[in-house]
Structure 1
Amino acid sequence: MFQVLFHIPILKGYFPPDGIPIHGFGVMLFLTFISGVWFLGWLSQKTGSNLPREKVQDLVIILFVSGLAGARFTYMQQYHVPLSQFFRIWEGGIVLYGGIIAGIGAFLIYYFGVLRRFQVNLWRLADATAPAIALGIALGRVGCLLNGCCYGHVADEGCPAIGFPLMTAPARDVVVDKFGYQTPTGFTTARSAPDDLRSVIDRVETNSQAANAGLRHGDKIIEVNGFSNGGVLIVYGGEDALARAEQLGREREAQRIDSQPGEKNDARVKLVFDDVKKAIDVRNQLRTDISGKGRVFDTDVFTDLINNWPRGDQQLDMKVERQGQEAIIPAFTPRTLGLHPTQIYESISMLLLIGFLLAYYPLRRHDGQVFTLFLACYAVHRFLNEILRNDTPIEGFGMSLSQNISVLILIAALGMELGLRKWGTRRV
């Protein structure tokens, strides 16, 4: 929804063009940490866990950092993300169960390594952490909503639904690329002519934001988001081919020259020209000069922008040529089809669970029961909520990874409950 909330207008050379981006997901992580310190401090006093006040923040930091690391690592393993992307956590890309499991492990290590010396009661502290974890999940899912990840299936008519900004939403990978439910922009394009790289509007989806903005069949895009819709050449090849591309780009005064290093087949140079005819001339020259040494692909600025959409941007505005006259298309935000708002469902469920756990606390039969109740309730919720999710692959037994883990967590919670009933400290 709002991947980037705002920009701090400094260091624009490192964060072009507007400065340091403040991501909605990162802001919610910060709020989760702050609220977790306060809530766990209050709960630890209420439960009589003997957790020293000065250790509350340490414990939250350990849970927070280990949870993020575990959630990120699990996501990277599941989706085969390179380790070099590990720290780009502000962009999303976490598996919550990985965070919960890693957090529990870190909690136990910290307890037996540090807290036990302060005579902190393990299971009373676990009871205190359960509502705090639920609060962290509730706030974290708001971050997922802002980021547009963890989305649900396309909702049936009459069901609650959210249309995410399509150009920047992770849901684009599914509703556009995987299933082809809709186009990336609300319309399709075609090449206007062999000697003109600029796109022409082909079909416009009925009732789409593009249609409401007045876009029509046959409109030729001459400007997009304030940029002239010129020609773009993308050149792949060896060093000689790429060097020749850069040389021609400088000689013919390309508006922008971008070099991307990589392996032999991945290294490329992108040349952007305001003048389409100049781009075509350079294309023809390159195809002659680097024949057998490289490849040249041509497109327009509009298509290149759509394929490499800036993170956080949402709106699309264009100037088109219509029947020989220029027409301005007002800014519009392409949106996905209505998707089940599974992020909101989880936030609401966790807030309800917090109330339930706090209300049940005086009724607990033994220390640790609130914690096992949290695990069981969350496992059931997550299993059911996963049925509505559309961004998680099937991993085994006809279920997603999180559903498989939910079953294991539920079994573990039931086993812990039985063990605590037999050997735990009973409440009068």
Structure 2
Amino acid sequence: MDLLRFITCGSVDDGKSTLIGRLLYDSDAVSLDVLATLEKRRHASGAVDLALLTDGLKAEREQGITIDVAHKYFTTPRRKFIITDAPGHVQYTRNMVTGASNAYLAIVLVDARHGVIEQTRRHTLIAALLGIRHFVLAVNKMDLVDYDQAVFDRIVSDYQRVAQQLRLAQVVAIPMSALNGDNVVRHSRQLAWYEGPSLLQHLESVPVPADANPNEPRFQVQYVIRPQTEQLPDYRGYAGRIQSGTYHAGDQVRIWPSGLETVIEAIEVNQQEVATATAPQAVVLRLRDDVDVSRGDTIVPTTAHPAVTRALEAILCWMHERPLKAGRKLLVQHHSAVVKASVTAIVYKTNVATFEHHGADAAQLNDIVRVQLRTALPLVVDCYQQNRVTGALILIDEQTGETLAAGLVTETDPEFFASPAPAVAVFFI
């Protein structure tokens, strides 16, 4: 069976943790001992507190909000799932960014009583920037508005404007009540006017893509294996994870950023030689020639064309209380590669309420900004839209080691920094 990774997002108290709990509970993915614990703690209405299945921190249970990112796993006869439960409070936006970075689908929850609000827009914007193409608008708590279709239609209309502004590829809108289980796993009589799929039915039918970059292999060295023992006096291997594409023993490859060429002598997986390996396998590559290869270097076939640059432009989600200003020195971490860099310019800041771009002198906590960076040493990167793995990076404070921002590479050639984005169709089901 294939695997679908998805994230639940939206504003605080829209019911994200309860929705995940309902998915697990109604699909029989909760163990008996956990069920027994849930039975001891119920809502005033007598319903099981399903949010406890994901809110595992003591502070989360005391405050009734999600703080950290939680991952849950479950399987149906048709598919395997990894669920990421992201916090809805604006204070924990950085955690939502982390959770969305590996998701393929986003469930955006909206409280039927409140409709589309600022945090709904912020989370949708972040998910779209992170390359998520499939969205589910989950209009939750329909039981609190008497399952009124007019309320649902109004929220769908409001969110459609958001989808059009962000040019989302596909949005499926589903009315539901996570607390009561309406339209989560099974259809509800209370929502007889709704003729679309339940949430689980839709999750089971969304196509899961294969490697998005089969023709552009990428492998970054994480560790150089040089045991120098009597049994292996001349052994030298380069360990890492294949980020995209497929590698073959015998491939002619180039080492970036040095540009040296050699041949893959052997590929090892779990200490066994294999003829080929593909993303996202962890492998050890052995090269024919004794060339200089270090942690952070990228090994690609000579037919591949990554950008090797010291100047790039990126979208940042600023995650630190101290504002970002042009000229600031920091570190850029691109997987295993860490280089010194400076922010040469803040191109614009995105207004979360309108999605318009405005000039800005600084970026505050949780701001979405586009910046230009210049690094001390070349980085081997791709634009995020072409490769989600090699187009992502983080910014780090070089003195404290704190994470300052998550970044998505948008351009690696200054001549194209101002090029417009392509149009994308919007569909509602």
TM-score, length-scaled by structure 2: 0.26
Greater RCO, 1 or 2 (C-alpha within 8 Å, sep 6+)? 1
TM-score, length-scaled by structure 1: 0.26
Query: Normalized per residue, which structure has more helix?
Result: 1
Whichever of the two has the greater Rg, that structure is 1
